[in-house]
Structure 1
Amino acid sequence: MWRSSNGLIGFINFMTFLLSIPILGGGIWLSTKANQTDCLRFLQWPLIIIGASIMVVSLMGFAGSCYRISWLLWLYLFAMFFIIAALLGFIIFAFVVTSKGEGRPLVNQANYRDYYLSDYSGWLKDRVSDPGYWAKISSCLRDAKACSKMGVYVGGAPETPNMFYHRYLSPIQSGCCKPPTECGYTYVNETDWSPGTASTTTDSDCSRWSNDQTQLCYSCDSCKAGVLASIKKSWRKVSVINIIVLIILVIFYVIGCAAFRNTKRIDNNEPFGESRMTKSQPARIHF
């Protein structure tokens, strides 16, 4: 029974070790995406820390089960409990900070959406809107040339305005690489717009737009909203993976606790059983 229970604990730890790989992969994916789009490099660290912690704790439990080290198994159970709690907290936090804000569809039936900072609220909005932090993000967007790949040529010629209005634009491209639609700018090419019909909008982004390719709308609130929309999309994808991993971790943790309790019960009963057998033997008389 001892061997079977410890074998089960070892198997569970091997599986949790495998489960830590998608979590680390999600953190690395966010890190790669941050370098290319939203430039928020702090977002991947919770996932990387949790994934690495699961790996270390799983190896700890695996070693404890293989070498029958009771105190190491106790430490494994306590550590895994806190990891599960941390993962649950991160999932809740991710959904709370990305619960508000959506791109607004346009009346001209364009496939892309416009993004407004006023549609977002909470910690993540305050973080992105901070002037010092936004200076780093906007600089990262320029360095990553987020708008440089927007040009599309059809038959050797640039696309027409109608073609542009009906193409897909990412939140970053829509918020940072063109002026807001309500400003009434006239399309020249993907990142070059000229003042068109007079607009009655009071949106301050209309005056912030610049055809300078190093400026564009990187100082606009719509660009900040596009970054927030990109973060929301990325975090929701990773959260789905985390929820699946969390459910499996909880199941494995419950099974592991039951198996460890079984080994402790066996350890506590064996000496008692041995003493009973000793007492039940008839006394031997030596001559």
Structure 2
Amino acid sequence: MALSNNVIGCINFVAMLLSIPIIGAGIWLATEPDNSCVKLLQWPVIILGVLILIVALAGFIGGFWRIPWLLILYLIAMLVLIVLLACLVVFIYMVTIRGSGRPATNRAYLEYHLDDFSGWLRRRVQSSYKWDRIRSCLSSSSMCAELNQSYRMPQDFFNAHLSPLQSGCCKPPTQCGYTFVNPTYWISPIDTAADMDCLQWSNEQTQLCYSCDSCKAGLLANLKKEWRRADIILLITLVGLIWVYLIGCCAFRNAKTEDLFRKYKQGYT
């Protein structure tokens, strides 16, 4: 049984290592400016990663120090955490399955529309209370001011591949027909009735299109891209954890079988 316990300890050490990508994915999301403004996904991911680390550590201790009740607790808790991680992976995929940019005439960048995204994501930004806080956070960044340093000629700007946030928040929608002065200053709209965002645009550098639905859509498009990357990491880690868990279950069963066989031999002799 000592050998099996050592195997269980080593397996749980691998599970501890697998918690690192989960925690790392949460920390990465927290460092992204848009995610730090919204604060939706990073903390559930980090907390789940930390819990997996703690449970794997308990299994590691239980294996090497031969504490059966701790191993049983590990098996139950890890199963629950694996199910939660699987639910999180599926949830992220489902809420990000919709939403992508639309091409605009004679523009390299894409335009973003709020209705293209899932209802759950839209509800995170539609209430004025939530958006006021997010807008204040986004407008404090330098993402729009940086465009003025990079693009001075209209055609250079029209050929630029802007991020969803820059396209949605830093300029008016293309269909409004505003005239380019610089990336964050536009005049003389042709059709203010083309989109409600046409009326929301302001040349005030602290306002721009931060109140526009296109800005909310650009934020969701950015979140979708980053969440999908994190979801790939979580999915790969989930597969690894399932593999480790199944091996751990087999090792625990073998250890119990060896223990029963040893006791049987002792009783027989």
TM tier, shorter chain?
over 0.9
Scaled by the length of structure 1, the TM-score of the pair is 0.90
Structure 1 residue runs of 4 or more that deviate by more than 3 Å after TM superposition = 35-38
Of 159, 180, 184, 1:187 maps to 180
Kindly indicate whether the alpha-carbon contact (under 8 Å) linking 1:176 and 1:220 is maintained by their aligned counterparts in 2: yes
Task: Tell me the equivalent position of 1:130.
Answer: 127
Q: Does 1:175 align with 2:174?
A: no
For 1:248 and 1:14, how far apart are their aligned partners in 2?
13
For 1:9 and 1:105, how far apart are their aligned partners in 2?
54
Task: Tell me the equivalent position of 1:117.
Answer: 114
For 1:38 and 1:14, how far apart are their aligned partners in 2?
31
CA RMSD of aligned residues (A): 1.4
For 1:130 and 1:98, how far apart are their aligned partners in 2?
20
Kindly indicate whether the alpha-carbon contact (under 8 Å) linking 2:30 and 2:36 is maintained by their aligned counterparts in 1: no
More helix per residue: 1 or 2? 2
Of 59, 62, 65, 1:64 maps to 62
The Cα of 1:42 is off from its aligned counterpart by 2.6
Cα shift readout 1:11-62 (whole Å, capped 9, x = no counterpart)? 11111111111111110111110x3567112320111011101110111001
Kindly indicate whether the alpha-carbon contact (under 8 Å) linking 1:37 and 1:144 is maintained by their aligned counterparts in 2: no
Task: Tell me the equivalent position of 1:7.
Answer: 6
Kindly indicate whether the alpha-carbon contact (under 8 Å) linking 1:39 and 1:141 is maintained by their aligned counterparts in 2: yes
The Cα of 1:168 is off from its aligned counterpart by 1.4
Cα shift readout 1:213-261 (whole Å, capped 9, x = no counterpart)? 0100000000000011011001000000011000010001000000000
* Alpha-carbon spacing, 1:37–1:212, altered in 2? closer, same or farther (3 Å): farther
Letter in 1 for 2:133: K
Runs of at least 5 residues in structure 1 that lack an aligned partner in the other structure:
278-287
Identity of aligned residues (%): 49
Residues matched between the structures, number? 269
Letter in 2 for 1:245: T
Structure number with greater Rg is 1
Of 262, 265, 268, 1:273 maps to 265
Which residues in structure 2 correspond to 1:130-169 (within 5 Å)?
130-153=127-150, 159-169=152-162
For 1:276 and 1:200, how far apart are their aligned partners in 2?
93
For 1:144 and 1:55, how far apart are their aligned partners in 2?
34
Q: Does 1:80 align with 2:73?
A: no
Of 226, 231, 241, 1:239 maps to 231
Of 201, 206, 225, 2:198 maps to 206
Kindly indicate whether the alpha-carbon contact (under 8 Å) linking 2:192 and 2:198 is maintained by their aligned counterparts in 1: no
Runs of at least 5 residues in structure 2 that lack an aligned partner in the other structure:
none
Cα shift readout 1:187-235 (whole Å, capped 9, x = no counterpart)? 1101001124x22753100010000001000000000000110110010
Scaled by the length of structure 2, the TM-score of the pair is 0.96
